[in-house]
Amino acid sequence: MKSQFESKTSCCPEFEPIPWDNQTFEWKDRRFIKDKVCTLFYMPVNFSGIMKRFDRKVTAAGAIVPDWLCLSDHTSKWNMDLYLAVDKEIPGAENIKLTGKFFSKVYEGPFRDTGKWMKDYESLTKSKGLIIKKQYMWYTTCPKCAKKYGKNYVVVVGRVE
């Protein structure tokens, strides 16, 4: 079976920001598989290896990754939890479900702007009367594909009340 992560021109599909920018939505039991990435002062060390492990499991299960959605939760300077959206339970993976109200905002630029994006996101949610309960980052493309497409989109996705 061919991996859905394989592409003739790049490893990441081009991201369409409009459906995710400044959007509030509800998830009820949205399926994800979870894994951990080692980080060194928040910089991922084995991200590629974890994505390959995800790909093997998803491909073997004949599953799809809706929207190519992969949420990152930076739990410390040394660890990042990854949540890959899937359409069904994946054998041999840590399967979880997310439920709740979420708000997403798309940002574009170098990763060094993450601090500015987070301040903007917090200000924006507050202006909408939303309280952030949990925040995730969605790095929509790898650095190589971001360079190819000329855009480095990052989406902040927060569970809100």
Q: Taking the complete model, does pTM exceed 0.85, yes or no?
A: yes
CATH superfamily of 18-160: Regulatory factor, effector binding domain (3.20.80.10)
Which residues are paired to 92 by β-bridges? none
pLDDT of res. 11: 83
Structure confidence by residue, pLDDT tens digits, 21-76: 999 999 999 999 999 999 998 889 999 899 999 999 999 999 999 999 999 999 99
- Residues 137/72, Cβ–Cβ less than 8 Å: yes
SS3 label, residue 130: coil
- Residues 98/42, Cβ–Cβ less than 8 Å: no
Structure confidence by residue, pLDDT tens digits, 68-81: 999 999 999 999 99
What does the buried/exposed string (b/e) look like for 15-31 if buried means 16 or more CB atoms within 10 Å of the residue's CB? bebeebeeeeeebeebb
